[in-house]
Amino acid sequence: MDWNSKPVSELLRAALREDHAGEDATSSALIPPGTHAQARLLCRQRCRLAGLGLIEPLLRELATLARATENEDWQARVVALYASDGDELNEGQLVAQLAGSARALLAAERTLLNFIQHLSGIATQTARFVAAVAGTGARILDTRKTTPGLRELEKYAVRIGGGVNHRPHLAGGVLIKNNHLALAGGVEQAFRAARRSYAPETIEIEVRTLDEVRAARAVGARWLLLDNMTPEEVRAAALAVGADMRLEVSGGVRLQNVRAYAEAGIAEISAGALTHSAPAADFSLRLGPGPAA
């Protein structure tokens, strides 16, 4: 993950501006200019860590924002890291130590925690799904059900959790879904139209019934997305098409039933729950008097 990329920098800048980080009324009233502090980033539950690399660029963006608003020079930095993305953390574990401008650390606190808690929550959720299908050979995939503006970071967190990224965006591949089918006239018509521009093995087509499975196979489809089928229906679909068809399951996939889909013989299982329903992990930032950055 390139934490210094332009999209990430723009995202961090927008998040700080959203919080009016250079105009902290409370700190301005209570903390004298030039006050220095140290901060400890602590994990408050067992979880899979993700997003640690954004702390330094976030602090840099804050210092730039503060200069732009004519505040004093807000310099803060990471003094030490005691963990890495992908680590399994325990409750109470010290993750990082920061130091520098007290006003900068206070202004960055909530934005920093929001990102790390959210990304670590996704990584933790993904790791649970991956563990649930261990030994079956199935891979856990994400979807485009991501928070607008955060997709790159959320898909990174999925990878940290052991999952696999599906399409990054609409331009990332052909996936014919139910609304495409409704407008194109059905499975056969939609697949034939896509075949005019793409090879059959690169065209994924969503099917919801065994009849649609058979229709897709008959027209030459090589890659099916079995949508909102039960594990029993998935097993029947796999038997109907044979081992040479690439199959993916999506829709209604939960932690409680994901292994049943994997044991039905499906190698790829995509779950929107990895990103849209992952509970935030619990972290805190504790400040105290300290040295300059």
CA gyration radius for the chain?
23
Q: H helices of the chain, where? A: 6-18, 25-30, 55-68, 102-132, 151-160, 178-184, 187-195, 210-219, 231-241, 258-263, 273-276
Q: Name the residue among 151, 148, 200 with its Cα closest to residue 174.
A: 200
Q: How far is CA 255 from the centre of its chain?
A: 17
Cα separation, 157 vs 154, whole angstroms: 5
Q: CB-side exposure of 245: number of CA atoms within 13 Å?
A: 27
Do the Cβ atoms of 157 and 123 come closer than 8 Å? yes
CA distances from 94 to 82, 205, 221, 252 (A): 7, 47, 52, 37
**Active centre residues (catalytic):** 110, 145, 177, 206, 227
For residue 255, give the amino acid letter: L
3-class SS of residue 99: strand
Burial class (CB in 10 A: 0-12, 13-18, 19+), 92: exposed
